Structure 1
Amino acid sequence: MNIQALLNDKVAAAMVAAGAPEGTPAAVRQSARPEFGDYQANGVMGAAKRMGQNPRAFAETLLGHLDLGDMADKVEIAGPGFINIHLKADWLAVQAEQALSDDHLAVTRPAPQKVVVDYSSPNLAKEMHVGHLRSTIIGDAVVRTLEFLGHQVVRQNHVGDWGTQFGMLLAYLEKLKAEGKDQAAMELSDLEVFYRAAKQCFDESPDFATRARELVVKLQGGDEDCLKMWREFNEISLSHCHEVYQKLNVSLTRNDVMGESAYNADLAQVVADLDQQGLLVEDQGAKCVFLDEFKNKDGSILPIIIQKADGGYLYATTDLAAMRHRDRVLKADRALYFVDQRQALHFKQVFALAHKAGFVRDELSLEHMGFGTMNGEDGRPFKTRSGGTVKLIDLLVEAEDKAYQLVKERNSDFDEAELREIAHAVGIGAVKYADLSKHRSSDYIFSFDAMLSFEGNTAPYMLYAYTRVASIFRKAGIEAQSLAAPLVLAEPQEKALAQKLLQFEETIDSVVREGAPHYLCLYLFELAGLFSGFYEACPILSAEDQGVRDSRLKLAHLTARTLKLGLDLLGIKTLERM
């Protein structure tokens, strides 16, 4: 049940019946304050202005065509033309009962789409660092929510397994062999050192850098010796990536890896097709596309470089091939890209070019879901104390260690195994929730103290809120399925809680529409707060009337199920006690 969508449809139909043109937006929103009702229709003033009518007069006419008798006990005009809608407690109770009886909480499933989601996408041949966290967990939360709504999701881990960095690594290995050093056995920790040493040679030696670029071209051309070592680098890196995914409770698997190299065979064809359409222009030896809509302040057009002068390809070439694959082979309806906000111009350019060149259908929605940076408490990009890049696995281990100390101090009744289980859920959940609760386009400050707090919109608070609700049934020895009395919303706190529970669908619709899990975090936080208010004002187990007790237990059970489902969609494991 999406109450907002239902009201929106009803008010929009009444506006048309009152004389507004078809498609006039009703602009129904949840009311910001209780005295303005439960929902508010804000589209009247805009419609009246376009029609040259008095807004209040148009609102009066509209109300004559608006029948909400089954779901609202009061509909009133406020101010210059707002329409305030007060929902019936009895109607909300019926909807809550339906949510309770349904495995999916009565969430409406829209017409299914095939959605390709490009997320995580670490560069191989080195360890994942904190810069990969946001793409990985924001993308995964949206993927989980899309699948819950019944969409067919194709995960695409577009790993960086091609390009200059691999030429650099191959050139360094070649150098070591020429010096007689044996690098046959490589552990991942050695590969990190190996990468840094190769990068230093690349930065300091022009001859080495030239050789690295030559080896990139050989690799892209299918040279078997290059490919053999490339596969070894990738295998080591992917093993590490999937250890991190497992610890993060991220749903990516090896089968979801579709790296840059997967499109290598199509890159020359991409260039040929663009050339055939007259889109390619040679500029200083490189092959470029110039689109008029992308101009600098001085009026010059920003190029999209498709092929370098030395024959090498770039991100744009690979992305165009990937889009063509996602359209023609995967038959996607939407393609979502969870990539750093700093790549916004790149994606605007390649999306525009993909459509202009006919590489994708007009109907395919290409969407860049950009995100901001994770910064240290000094407001700068998160680094180690020595100024180096923070390995993601090290960050997660530290989060678990800090959570372990916190939980042990708060409750010493748990045995060691339980403490470790709780510490894992709290520590990893804290890192994920602190990120997911921020709007993805915003930068945010990483702080263990803030994210591990049991106060505010944090994972520890949310995990505790769930265990608190779940414990009601455990302490009472009652099975939720045994509750026979009808759900009745007699008190204001009961109605407010039920209404928030029934806004779950509105929330997850926003998550998948905008690729923004922070909506779900805020919803769960507000839900937990409303439950606390309900719990304080409305005695549950001590209620004198069994019917009242059972009704309130039903509300508690629906709250627990909603909290658990919401946290699961965020990829956060819940606990039954902590």
Structure 2
Amino acid sequence: MSQNSVEQILENQEKEFCSLQEQFKSIIAQLENKNTENEGILQALEAQNIKLKHRIAVLIESIEEEKAKRIEKTKCDVNDAVNISSLISPRTILTVAFVKAVAFVYPNIPSSVVTLVPTTNSKFGDYQCNAAMPIYQQLKSSDSKITLQSVAQNILKEFDGGEVVEKVEIANAGFINIWLNKNFLCSKINILVNQGCIPPPIKKRLKIVVDFSSPNVAKEMHVGHLRSTIIGDSICRILEYLGHDVLRLNHIGDWGTQFGMLIAHLQDMYPNYLTESPSVDNLQRFYKESKIRFDTDEEFKKRAYDCVVKLQSFNQDYLQAWKLICVASRKGVNVVERGESFYQKKMITLIQELNDKGFLEDDEGRKILWGSESKEDIPFTIVKSDGGFTYDTSDLAAFKHRIEEEKADWIIYVTDEGQGTHFQIMQNCARRIGFYDPTKVRVDFVGFGVVLGLKRSQEKLKEKNRQSVLTEKELDEAAESIAYGCIKYADLSHNRNHVYLFSFDKMLEDKGNTAVYLLYAYTRIKSISRSIQLNEDAIIRASKEKVVELNHEKEWKLAKVLLQFYDIIERITKDLYMHRLCEYLYEVATTFSEFYDNCYCIKRDAEGQIQEVHMDRIILCEATAVVIKKCFDILGIKALSRM
């Protein structure tokens, strides 16, 4: 039962309850005023009174049952059918506890009013719950006696923070400030070191199709394909980390107009291509030649369009030409793909279905499909006037295949912002046809802006004289890590909706929110334990014997930031903005620097000899390295211990 249905039932039953109360009062008044001589009327009224009392009791019980169902449903929704005790994120655990409390005290208030934010000032605790204000705003018109303080107090009466909470206080504005329990935080840091960044439990393992990269065969890949590949790969990585079944799809263009151009050009350049395999060594040059002819020669353009139609009709000679061109293309690009050609027969089936159901309309020789009965949007062109198919046709057929045959629970398209309208119309058409239900299949369009301004990494390392401390192999690995890492990170660290300037100089800076700075931060952390000859296994063994203490305020601050990793992951799964992970990664690195500058891990004498080792701080350093490395893994960046 939906939340709205439950609320409607409660509202109707409460109205009936009020009506019955009024009838009950009326009967009592009649009883008091009636002359006792009329025993028959009195007995009838008393019998009716008994029935009304019984009905009221039944209604009260029913209302309480509905409230209980509402509370239980809220618990299930928030818990997401997982074991809350297994979670590491304090924020998630606290949110669950507050939602349960609000659901019990104010069952008609939606759980979305519960928001928890980390505090910026330690005197206000570690987290702040801001649920009281929206609840007060909703109830003040019907309850003149209600106050912010009373709302907050009512919530706290039912709040159970368990082992997570040290204390809670209500601020003047009704905010609820929460101080975390030290033992809880320390134990979770030890779990990070012992078990790594174990993925949070999920309610259901989803089948997710991620459509990204999607270049065209025979055409040069441009920076848009690079952005799509980088963003799509990182989205796949985060979903795979969570344990979902992810299908990475490279929906390449291998069936469109460019192939008509190429086949027509092939026929002219290699008339014996069916019996003698042509040598198309430079496919890019071959494509450019055909494109010039297509743009300047009307007769050639007409032939090219005719070639497309014959190819899409599975003419064997044209299929042979298509295969030769695809082979030449794949010599330079090694991809796992599912091209438009894969959907050719599915397009034919789809068109037949649309015709049979009366969805297609004739429009100056072409067949179009509207996304709505009102025809207010732009129609899809399903069949061109020459009988050929379009991107609209293949994308709609692919969408249908992913829902009906791949059984996808979630489909993600990663492409430039300019395609947003196209994919929205596609969803509208699919809903109208009847194979797509947005309540059953989640679809996200992950659009991105353009990039402006498009062997530097090894030079950067040599500028820092790293060749004197690294082996040749280590220097090559570091150069490769920086080269790939800086390009990926520069892209992902920007809000994908915005344009950004592609600048190697900016990417290779070792200060600020860059991959180079973060890679150096990671190697710096790893060098701390290496300087006292402790490897990861030794630190893990130590963490099983010694719990982190977190006595210093900078230790406490770092520990809280590390455990926010899971909050960031959860947020990204909702909006698919990967720059949030980059911002978090930078926050971890800068918070670690604060900690390292104020809390010495290894104390040495004037001669450099070790005098004291703070093992609990070494463990905290390792926990930081674990989180940073997991962020790198999700972003597709290779972390190095030495650089």
Report TM bin, short chain.
0.7 to 0.9
Q: Note closer, same or farther for the CA distance 1:274–1:79 as it changes in structure 2 (3 Å cut).
A: farther
CA distance in 2, matches of 1:61, 1:482: 46
Q: Does 1:241 align with 2:328?
A: no
1:407 and 2:438 matched: no
Larger displacement relative to structure 2 (209-218 or 232-241): 232-241
Q: Which has the larger radius of gyration?
A: 2
**Higher relative contact order, chain-length normalized (CA < 8 Å, sep 6+):** 1
| Equivalent residues of 2:148, 2:174 under 8 A apart | yes
When residues 506 and 415 of structure 1 are mapped into structure 2, their CA distance, relative to the original with a 3 A threshold, is same
Alpha-carbon distance in 2 for matches of 1:439, 1:540:
36
Alpha-carbon deviations, 1:480-516, whole Å to 9, x = none? 1331322111111111111111111111222233222
- Deviation, 1:65, is 1.5
Q: Distance in 1 between matches of 2:330 and 2:630?
A: 30
Say whether 1:562 aligns with 2:562.
no
CA distance in 1, matches of 2:252, 2:448: 18
1:162 pairs with 255, 269, 285, which one?
255
TM-score, structure 1 normalization: 0.88
Q: CA deviation at 1:197?
A: 1.1
Following superposition of structure 1 onto structure 2, how do residues 76-87 of structure 1 map, counting pairs within 5 Å? Answer: 76-87=169-180
Unmatched segments (≥5 aa) in structure 1: 243-252, 377-381, 383-400
Greater fraction of residues in helix:
2
Asked whether the equivalents of residues 90 and 563 of structure 2 are also in contact (C-alpha less than 8 Å), the reply is yes
Partners of 1:466 and 1:294 lie apart in 2 by 57
Provide the residue aligned with 1:488 in structure 2. Answer: 549
Deviations 1:182-227 (A, max 9, x none): 992122xx21111111111111111111111110011111122222
Q: Counterpart of 2:412 in 1: which secondary structure?
A: strand
Aligned to 2:341, which of 258, 261, 269? 261
- For 2:139, the aligned partner's letter is M
Q: Within the alignment, does 1:171 sit opposite 2:264 as a pair? A: yes
Which residue identity does 2:269 align to in structure 1? Answer: L
Greater CA drift, 338-347 or 349-358? 349-358
Shift in Å at residue 109 of structure 1? Answer: 4.1
Q: Name the structure 2 match of 1:146.
A: 239
Superposed CA offset, 1:205-250 (max 9, x none): 11111111110011111122222222232233334333xxxxxxxx
In the alignment, is the contact (CA less than 8 A) between 2:206 and 2:244 conserved in 1? yes
Q: Which residue of 1 aligns with 2:126?
A: 38
Alignment correspondent of 2:56: none
**1:179 offset after TM fit, Å?**
11
Amino acid of the residue matched to residue 128 of structure 2?
Answer: Q
Cα distance in 2, alignment partners of residues 48 and 375 from structure 1? 49
The corresponding residue for 1:365 is 442
Shift of 1:409: 1.1
Q: Which amino acid aligns with 2:349?
A: Q
Residues 1:443 and 2:499 are matched in the alignment: yes
Residue 59 of structure 1: CA displacement? 1.3
Confirm or deny: 8 A CA contact 1:336 1:368 kept in the other structure.
yes
Q: How many residues align?
A: 536
- Cα distance, 1:274 vs structure 2: 2.0
CA distance in 2, matches of 1:547, 1:47: 53
Q: 1:422, CA displacement in angstroms?
A: 1.3
TM-score by length of 2: 0.79
1:59-98 matches, within 5 Å, as: 59-98=152-191
Residues 342-389 of structure 1 deviation map (CA, whole Å, 9 limit, x = unaligned):
10000001012112212234411121111111112xxxxx5xxxxxxx
Match of residue 386 from structure 1: none
- 1:271-330 CA-to-partner distances (Å, cap 9, x unmatched) read 2222233322111111112234887xxxx5422211111111111211111111111211
Contact between 2:211 and 2:414, CA under 8 Å: does it hold in 1? yes
Q: Which residue is equivalent to 2:32?
A: none
Output one character per residue of 1:45-85: Cα deviation in whole Å (capped at 9) or x when no partner: 22222222433321121112112252222323335333222
- Share of identical aligned residues, percent? 38
Question: What CA distance in whole angstroms lies between the structure 1 residues aligned with 2:296 and 2:95?
Answer: 63
Distance of 1:281 and 1:410 partners within structure 2: 67
- How many angstroms apart in 2 are the aligned matches of 1:281 and 1:326? 25
**Contact 1:98–1:106 (8 Å) recurs in 2:** no
Alignment match of 2:416 (pick from 335, 340, 347): 340
Task: Return 365-374 or 503-512, whichever deviates more.
Answer: 503-512
1:105 is displaced (CA, Å) by: 3.5
3-state SS in 2 of match to 1:115: strand
**Which stretches in structure 2 are left out of the alignment for 5+ residues?**
1-87, 141-145
Distance 1:467 1:73, change over 3 A: same
Cα distance in 2 between the residues matched to 1:149 and 1:534: 30
Write the distance in 2 (CA, Å) between the matches of 1:80 and 1:442: 37
Whether the aligned pair in 1 keeps the contact of 2:127 and 2:177 (CA below 8 Å) is: yes
- Of the structure 1 ranges 285-294 and 366-375, higher mean CA displacement relative to structure 2 is found in 285-294
Q: 1:123-522, aligned counterparts within 5 Å?
A: 123-177=216-270, 184-187=278-281, 190-242=282-334, 254=336, 257-292=337-372, 301-362=377-438, 363-376=440-453, 382=454, 401-411=455-465, 412-413=467-468, 414-478=470-534, 479-483=538-542, 484-522=545-583
Question: Does the aligned pair in 2 maintain the 1:4–1:28 contact within 8 Å?
Answer: no
CA contact under 8 A between 2:601 and 2:618: conserved in structure 1? yes
